[in-house]
Structure 1
C-alpha cells in the first residue's frame, strides 16, 4: 500500500502546483487591478500561467498534430492515423495519406518506451512522410492498462516488435530510435531464425545502447552504481486509484521526468525564468518555441515495472544483447543469424545519453552479415535529440538513411538506379 500512497502523493503534488498556478493567474488577473498597474501583478500572472501549463501538461498525451500534407500534385491531402495492430501495451499505427499514390518505401519507426510518448518523434515522422509510407509503434501509458492485461517486460516488448514486423511484411525498412535499438536488433535476429520470410530489408539503429559499456555515460554509470533491490525499492510504485491501471507496479513518468530535468537543471531553470519574463511582457504565444518544446518534453508516461527493471538488469547490467546471450520466451537469440538484413548505425558525436560506440557495437554482433550490408555514421556536433529530430537529422542523417533504404530495397526504392550503401565507417577505421 505504501507504494500506492507514494504514487498518489506525487500526483497530489503535481495537481497542487497546477492549482496554485491557476489560482495565481486568476487572482492577478482581476479587472480591478488594472486600474493601478503593478509589475508584481504582471509577474504573478505570468508565473501562474507558466506554472499551470507546466504541471497540467504532464498528464496529457500530446496529439500528433499531423493533419494535412502537401503532395507532389500540389494539393493538400489529409493525414489519417490508422491502427493496424492493436495490443494492450502498444499499437502499430499507420500515417495514411488518402489520395496519394502509395510510396515504395515502407518504413517502421520503433519509438522508445523510456518515459515519453511516441509523439516525441513527431518531427521525425513528418520528415519521413514526404517520401515514405510511415508506420510507428505507439506505446501505451502503463497507468491506463488494467492489471488483468498481465506483465510486460523486454521479452514481451521484443515479441511485440516481431509481431509488428510480421504484419508489415518483408519489404519493410525498420528505424529504431534510442532505447529500442538493442531489442529491435534482437527481434530481427529472432525472425531470422524463426521466420526468415518476415525479415525486414534494412535496419537502422539510431543512438541506442547496444553495448552500454562501450562508452560509459552518466546513464550507464547510474545503472552500475545501484543494485536491483535499490532500484525496486526507490523507483517502483503502484498506480493510484485515479487511473484504470490501479495497483499496477510501474516506474512513474514523473520520476523519469525528474531525472531528465536534473541532468540539465540550470538550462531548464533558465528556460522557465525566461518564459515567465516573456509572458509578463506580452511577448509569448501559445505555440512559441518554449511551449512547442516543453508541451512534448513534460508529457510523460509510466512504464511497466517489469519492463524498466528487466531493461536495467539485462541490457545494462548483464549486457545480454552486447554478449549475444539474450533469451526470448525460452529461445536464445543469436544475432549472428542475421545474414540478409542490411544494418546501419547512427550516432551523435556529442550524445551524452547513448555515447558514440554504444550503437555501432551492433555491427560487430552481426557476424553473419557481409561488410557490404553494414554501414555506420557519426554525426559531428550532434547531441542525442539532434540525431533523430534536430537539424542534424533534417540536413544530413535523413538523406543518408533514405539512401541506405534505397540501396537495400531490392529494386523497390524511389530512384531508378540502385545506390550503393553508405560507407561503412566502422570497417574503414
Structure 2
C-alpha cells in the first residue's frame, strides 16, 4: 500500500500542477484584464498555458504523426500504422505506405524501453520510410498492464524480439537504438543457434551499452555506486488505483522524467523560461520547436520493476552480455554463434549516455563472424540523440546504414531518397540535449 500511496501522490502533484496552469491561464485571459495594461496578466496567462500543456503531456501517449511520405511517382502516399503482433507488454507495428509496392529493404527498428514511448523514434522512422518497409517494436506502458499478465524482465524482452524477428522472416534488417542493443544482439545469437534460417540479414547497433565498463559515464557510475537494495527501495513503486495495472511494481515514468531533467536542469529551465516569455509576447505557436520537442520528451511511461532491476543488475553490474554469459529461459546464449549476420555499430563521439567504446564492443564478442561482415562508425561531434534522430543521423549516419544494408542483404537497392520533412517538422533537439533513450 505504501508504494501505491506514493505513486498516487506523484500523480496527484502532477494533476494539481496541470490544474493550476489551466486556472492561471483562464483567470488571466479574462477580457476585463485587457483594460489594465500590466504585463503581469500576460505573463500569468503564458505561464498557465505552458504549465498546463507540460504537465498534461506527462500521461498521454504521443501520436506518430506521420501522415504522408513522398513517392517516386511524385505523389504523396498516405501512411497508416497497423499492428502485426499484439502482446501484453509490446506490439510489432508496421508503417503501411498506401499504393506503394513493397520495398526491398525491410527494417525492424527496435525502440528503447527506457521511460519514453517508441514515438521517440518518430523522425528516425520518417527518414527511413521513403526507402524502406519499416517495422517498430511498440512497447506498452506498464501502468496499463494488469498484474495477471505476469512479469516482464530482460529475458522476456529478448524472447519478444525473437518472436518479432521470426514473424517478419529472414529477409530482415534490424536496427537497435540505445538500451535494446545488448538484448537485440542476444536475440540474434539465440536465433543463430535455435533457428538459423530465421536470422536477420544485418544488425545495426546504435549507441547501446554492450559493455558499460568500456567507457565510464554518469549512468555507469551510478550503477556502480548504488546497491540493488537501495535502488529497489528508492525508485520502485506500485501502480495506483487509477490504472489497469493497479498493484504492479514499476519504475514510474514521472520519477524517470525527474532523473532525465536533472541531467540537464539548467538547459531545461532556460528553455521553459524562454517559452513563457515568448508566449507572453505573442510570439509562441502551437507547433514551434519547444512544443514539438517537449510534447515528446515529457510523455513518459512506466517500466516494470523486474525489467528495470534486471537491466541494472545483469547488463550494467553483472556485465552478462559484455562477458558473453547471458542466459535466456535457462539457456546460455553464445554470441559467438552469430556467423552470417552482418553487424555494424554506430557511436557518437560526444555521447554522454553510451560513451564511445561501449557499443563497438559487440564486434569483439562476434567471434564466429568474419571481419568482412563487421563494421563500425564513430560520428564526430554527435551526442546521444543525434546519432539516431538528429542532424548527424540525417546527414551522415542514415546513408551509411542504408549502404551497409544494401551491401549485406542481397536486396537490389534503389536510389536513396533525400531527407525532407515528413508528416511535420523534425522534432530533434540539439545533439546530446537529453538522456531520454
TM over 0.5: yes
The answer on whether the counterparts of 2:104 and 2:411 sit within 8 Å (CA) in structure 1 is no
What is the CA distance between 1:25 and its match in structure 2?
A: 0.6
- Cα shift readout 1:31-64 (whole Å, capped 9, x = no counterpart): 1111112101110100011000010000000000
1:354-373 to structure 2, matched below 5 A, reads: 354-373=354-373
Distance 2:82 2:54 in 1: 30
1:140-155 to structure 2, matched below 5 A, reads: 140-155=140-155
What is the CA distance between 1:119 and its match in structure 2?
A: 0.2
Distance 1:53 1:357 in 2: 39
Distance 1:199 1:210 in 2: 20
What is the CA distance between 1:413 and its match in structure 2?
A: 3.4
Partner of 1:333: 333
What is the CA distance between 1:278 and its match in structure 2?
A: 0.2
Partner of 1:318: 318
Partner of 2:271: 271
1:11-410 to structure 2, matched below 5 A, reads: 11-410=11-410
Distance 2:58 2:334 in 1: 40
The answer on whether the counterparts of 1:162 and 1:188 sit within 8 Å (CA) in structure 2 is yes
Q: Per the alignment, in what secondary structure is the counterpart of residue 59 of structure 1? A: coil
Q: Per the alignment, in what secondary structure is the counterpart of residue 193 of structure 1? A: helix
What is the CA distance between 1:297 and its match in structure 2?
A: 0.3
Distance 1:41 1:372 in 2: 66
Distance 1:135 1:414 in 2: 19
Distance 1:69 1:178 in 2: 26
Distance 1:104 1:342 in 2: 17
- Name segments (4+ residues, structure 1) moved above 3 Å: 411-416
Distance 1:47 1:36 in 2: 18
The answer on whether the counterparts of 1:104 and 1:412 sit within 8 Å (CA) in structure 2 is yes
Q: Per the alignment, in what secondary structure is the counterpart of residue 167 of structure 1? A: helix
Distance 2:67 2:319 in 1: 41
Q: Per the alignment, in what secondary structure is the counterpart of residue 25 of structure 1? A: helix
The answer on whether the counterparts of 1:82 and 1:94 sit within 8 Å (CA) in structure 2 is yes
Distance 1:119 1:411 in 2: 28
Distance 2:148 2:15 in 1: 28
Distance 2:372 2:414 in 1: 21
- Give the TM-score normalised by structure 1: 0.96
What is the CA distance between 1:11 and its match in structure 2?
A: 0.2
Q: Per the alignment, in what secondary structure is the counterpart of residue 116 of structure 2? A: coil
Distance 1:37 1:65 in 2: 40
Task: Specify which structure has the bigger relative contact order, considering alpha-carbon pairs within 8 angstroms and separated by 6 or more residues.
Answer: 2
- Give the TM-score normalised by structure 2: 0.94
Q: 1:412 to 1:331 in 2, by over 3 A?
A: farther
The answer on whether the counterparts of 1:193 and 1:337 sit within 8 Å (CA) in structure 2 is yes
What is the CA distance between 1:412 and its match in structure 2?
A: 4.0
The answer on whether the counterparts of 2:189 and 2:335 sit within 8 Å (CA) in structure 1 is yes
Partner of 1:427: none
- Cα shift readout 1:77-122 (whole Å, capped 9, x = no counterpart): 1101110111000000000112011110000000000000000000
Q: Per the alignment, in what secondary structure is the counterpart of residue 413 of structure 1? A: coil
What is the CA distance between 1:384 and its match in structure 2?
A: 0.1
What is the CA distance between 1:280 and its match in structure 2?
A: 0.2
Partner of 2:433: none
Distance 2:287 2:175 in 1: 29
Q: 1:229 to 1:148 in 2, by over 3 A?
A: same
Q: Per the alignment, in what secondary structure is the counterpart of residue 306 of structure 1? A: helix
Distance 1:322 1:155 in 2: 16
What is the CA distance between 1:415 and its match in structure 2?
A: 6.6
The answer on whether the counterparts of 2:105 and 2:411 sit within 8 Å (CA) in structure 1 is no
The answer on whether the counterparts of 1:406 and 1:414 sit within 8 Å (CA) in structure 2 is no
Distance 1:324 1:413 in 2: 35
